Amino acid sequence: MIWSYISALGGLNVTVLVGLAIAAWLVGARCWRLSLAWCVLFGVALAAAVASQVAFIGWGIGVRPLDFTGFSGHATRAAAVYPVAAFLLLERRPLWLRIAGVACAVLLAALVAGARIKIGAHSVSEAVAGFCLGLGAAMLFIRLAHANRRGAPKPLLIALALAMLLLPSAEPPNTHQWVTALALALAHQDRPYLRGSWKPAGSPYVPPCEPERVRFGYVCT
């Protein structure tokens, strides 16, 4: 259960809230360029993770010797948002505290990546690659940022607290189903590639829910 909870800290319902809180705080602090930079870096990291998964599901593009079928989205998002959030929250604090805070956030993201391996959602290569992708985006943003703003406002603290404490227990969105639907639509086929065989499934993809709950052919609601 603990690994499932840690894994959930990288879910869309958590990390997107944190990412939006970061962007909103930067806009509120009138750091327009940094806000745009954060949105671009976070968006590019998310797009890269999704594109890699779509490439495998739709066309079987991956690295079979490494068991790599796409960047772990959870690991990517966690490594992108948590170090940046820690940096902003502690930017007016002593240097040693800022370094320690960012290091703890990186460790949390690493635990999320490890949790994805533990629960069998991703291979080691996928979790590590996703972690590195997200961390690269975070470190690039931190390098661009300057410690010349006011301390973090309470709304950001509240948003982060809610994300960390409440949302991991909420029902996560069916992100994999949406990625599968996108991949099959782009590839013009109804059989996704499977990790075990690296070949298309033997039968058309069927969403794991009752037929009346299926929308757009592949997504459960």
Instruction: Express each pLDDT in 63-102 by its tens digit.
Output: 999 999 999 999 999 999 999 999 988 877 888 898 999 9
Q: Are residues 161 and 204 in the same domain?
A: no
Q: Are residues 109 and 209 in the same domain?
A: no
Q: Are residues 153 and 193 in the same domain?
A: no
Number of domains in the chain: 2
CA separation for the pair 85, 126 (Å, rounded): 24
Percent of the chain scoring above 70 in pLDDT: 83
Q: Are residues 166 and 205 in the same domain?
A: no
Q: Are residues 182 and 160 in the same domain?
A: no
Q: Is 54 exposed, middle or buried (0-12, 13-18, 19+ CB in 10 A)?
A: buried
| pTM given for the model | 0.86
pLDDT over 70 (residue 202): yes
Q: Which domain holds residue 145?
A: 2-172
CA separation for the pair 40, 44 (Å, rounded): 6
Q: Are residues 57 and 9 in the same domain?
A: yes
36-62 mean pLDDT: 95
Q: Are residues 131 and 57 in the same domain?
A: yes
Q: Are residues 103 and 194 in the same domain?
A: no
Q: Are residues 104 and 203 in the same domain?
A: no
pLDDT over 70 (residue 131): yes
Q: Are residues 183 and 117 in the same domain?
A: no
Q: Are residues 35 and 138 in the same domain?
A: yes
- Note whether 105 and 146 are within 8 A (CB): no
Q: Are residues 140 and 84 in the same domain?
A: yes
Q: Tell me which long-range contacts 31-39 makes (C-beta under 8 A, separation of at least 24).
A: 31/149, 34/141, 34/144, 34/145, 37/141, 37/144, 38/84, 38/141
Q: What are phi and psi of 63, to 5 degrees?
A: -120, 95
Per-residue model confidence (pLDDT) at position 165: 58
Per-residue model confidence (pLDDT) at position 155: 57
Q: Which residue from 97, 83, 69 is spatially nearest to 198, judged by alpha carbons?
A: 69
